[in-house]
Amino acid sequence: MRCRICDAKATLLMDRGDLALYRCARCDFVSGEPSHYLPADERYEGYYRGPVPSAPEARYGEWLARAEAAVGRGRLLEVGAGSGGLVRVALARGWQVDATEISESGLKMLRETGATVFAGDVGTAHYTEGTFDFVVSLEVLEHLPVPVSHLRELWRITRRGGLLLLTTPNFNGLSRWLLGIRWRVIDPEHLGYFTSATLSRALCEVGYKRVRVRSRSLDVLSWRRGTYPARGDGFDPQASAQLRDAVEASKLLRIGKTGINAMLGITGVGDSLLAWAQR
């Protein structure tokens, strides 16, 4: 196995049959190798069964407000926009929004938002260099066979001084340390597993500056369901969003979540990485 970041030799870290993980001796990146590849259109067909519940809207508003303070309300691109949760919030705030998506189930809902939608990978959209003020990529990077090419394309289409917001699972998160290869995020559809260090380095190497990566969140759905069978249950965006709704509906749980996220950011063991970077 060659590292998906630097192409150096990677050695076997763990294997559960449907998926093997390899760690790079040079850059420490962890690459996933599924036993069976499915074309992307088959893999994500039916991925979105309906509109995602509303819980993330407040978070989207916070992220957009931060971007507006830096670059104004300009042109925004969300890559892999799913069913359009962030897209809807951005449009309501006055952004000019483009979005890409490969899942047919997501595209149907995304087109109803009124955003300019491209069906396909961002690399095939052929956007002009420096087109966007703000580029968003949420839980996309881990799905890609060549993640650095994706980051390089996002850098290219962002204007000078523009921003990138990116999230991806944290391989050094608490759930991975305790559940190991049984963590539901370790799945054949995920081909790359970042840590704060490997993500920061990759962003800097493609040209981003003022890179800030922090960890946040616990994958509470994994803990609620307990230890999974060896092959995991996979990722269900609807179930995750419904659980977020339940948390947001409780004042006590919201306060607890804020405190936990602060601690996870300090310790670096949150299950998700949140990166801001400037071109």
What residue segments make up the domains of the chain, in order of their start?
A: 40-278
Give me the amino acid identity at 115.
A
This prediction has a pTM of 0.85
**How many Å apart are CA 225 and CA 83, to the nearest integer?**
25
Is residue 141 a contact partner of residue 150, using CB atoms and an 8 Å limit?
yes
Kindly state the tokens that stand for 271. Answer: 């299950």
Q: pLDDT 10s per residue in the chain (279 long)?
A: 999 999 999 999 999 999 999 999 999 999 999 998 766 655 565 555 555 555 578 889 999 999 999 999 999 999 999 989 999 999 999 999 999 999 988 899 999 999 999 999 999 999 999 999 999 999 999 999 999 999 999 999 999 999 999 999 999 999 999 889 889 899 999 999 999 999 999 999 999 999 999 998 887 666 655 444 444 455 555 555 555 555 555 555 555 556 666 666 677 789 999 999 999
User: For the structural domain made of 40-278, what CATH number should be given?
Assistant: 3.40.50.150
Q: Do residues 56 and 86 make contact, with C-beta atoms less than 8 angstroms apart?
A: yes
CA separation for the pair 80, 101 (Å, rounded):
4
In the chain, the amino acid numbered 279 is: R
Contacts of 91 (CB under 8 A, 6+ apart): 97, 113, 114, 115
Helix (H) or strand (E) holding 84: none
